[in-house]
Structure 1
């Protein structure tokens, strides 16, 4: 019940902010819309600024839940990418008001906590692109993956903006299929010796420029662990071996979620993966990111 009321306040604030702007939307206007007292409002949020942060956390969590549900489905990489590309278009159709608030506030907010939430969301989407593109097209695209990320994200954002500002109701599945076809074209161009604009050596710099801070090591390790879990499913191993290795990866993912992962525990469990030669590069990268010595 408490969570329902909190959600009602957030959705009211999104709706009113889309109409008037967040800074022109008063707490009194929100409580009047919800039919509650100011005291009840402050029971859920310590301040209007805290509500501002909660609005974005609420939306990004919804987006993340949708992406994770697709991630966990037993789908081929290309279909998984297509379905995940659909998510923001489906969300826009459901929550047009939020996108209006997001576009108004993303470049002008002085709320540091909100700025951090937005930055993390940008980092997460770039990490997602990097992982999903590699799964879909293979390691061959690494030399030009930065260009693919830039071009795909640019096209996707252009269609989202067109839907929003011109009030168009585009078919999410059709747009996602179109974007995938354009990715195929870009990959084909590079395979035909098109020179990349941004080389692999500049990838970290690209992400830094695009998100205003580089993807943090824990996010990169999380992406690598997810890559390993995906590859493990198709490896010619016994069910017993797979079960044991899945347990190792699950442990590492759980440890990574802690504010301060236990490096010795991480180091020890990472050693259990060395029996799989295909995981050597992953282990080395993870060890480098977390400043560990491989056992």
Structure 2
């Protein structure tokens, strides 16, 4: 996205947060950016399209920061804590964006935006599910989808306090606290033998196929970053085999799972291995 469009988005979101989406005119956005109304339409065909690209812009920013950590050689718990911290930081940095979503009751959720919101939700479910599997292991697979939903609800409540009530907290300490809460949740399932309501079969029904292909794009990006940073020859060879396999029109699941097994021997790459296995479901 070019810098002019980013400038328009960043100025527009401040006006939307202050006045609301419906009440903010294209002329006001143009004035705030120091451009003509005609110049606005050179970049965005409508205010609705601006709203869609606004969602896409902030989502991509957050995904980029989170994926940078995914490729780092950290233990699964440490990696998850860092990614929680980054998520909270990004949300807090773009407070106006969240306020707009909470306050605005008349956002035109057309088919394009509605599809995008659903896609974000599905990605979030996969993100948390993959991390929980990497941390707690395959033995906890039956719990991870429900735990993923619970963790997202927990995080949302903390974020509401930060954004809407403007409380000041140490983001790293909060991320560590959330990690401990996740421990309690996972231990509770095992201790009491409770059966989850949200099962893998349910999630397979609601997560569309195109999200799976978008997940592949994230995996390939992460593998390329590992390739740039890693010196261990076994890992480099494994990554090269994976990248070569994903270049094929019909990749072989057995090869992907075999390479995931090699990565799982290195605890810092268990998260990536979990994503690979999820993709092959």
CA distance in 2, matches of 1:241, 1:128: 26
The corresponding residue for 2:202 is 205
Say what the alpha-carbon RMSD is for the aligned residues: 3.4
1:262 aligns with 2:261: no
**Unaligned runs of at least 5 residues, structure 2:** 227-231, 263-272
CA distance in 2, matches of 1:66, 1:125: 14
Contact 2:119/2:211 (CA < 8 Å) preserved in 1? no
Number of aligned residues = 263
- Give the counterpart of 1:243 among 236, 247, 261: 236
The corresponding residue for 2:128 is 129
Contact 1:12/1:33 (CA < 8 Å) preserved in 2? yes
Larger radius of gyration: 1
The corresponding residue for 1:293 is none
The corresponding residue for 2:108 is 109
TM-score normalised over the length of structure 1? 0.77
The corresponding residue for 1:98 is 97
CA distance in 1, matches of 2:71, 2:92: 24
Structure 1, residues 96-118: CA drift from partner, whole Å, max 9, x if none? 10111233469953321111221
Contact 1:78/1:136 (CA < 8 Å) preserved in 2? yes
1:25 aligns with 2:24: yes
Give 1:242 shift. Answer: 3.9
Structure scoring higher RCO (CA < 8 A, sep ≥ 6) equals: 2
- Matched residue SS, 1:192: helix
Structure 1, residues 110-141: CA drift from partner, whole Å, max 9, x if none? 32111122111111111101111111111121
**Unaligned runs of at least 5 residues, structure 1:** 234-238, 256-260, 290-295
- Matched residue SS, 1:197: coil
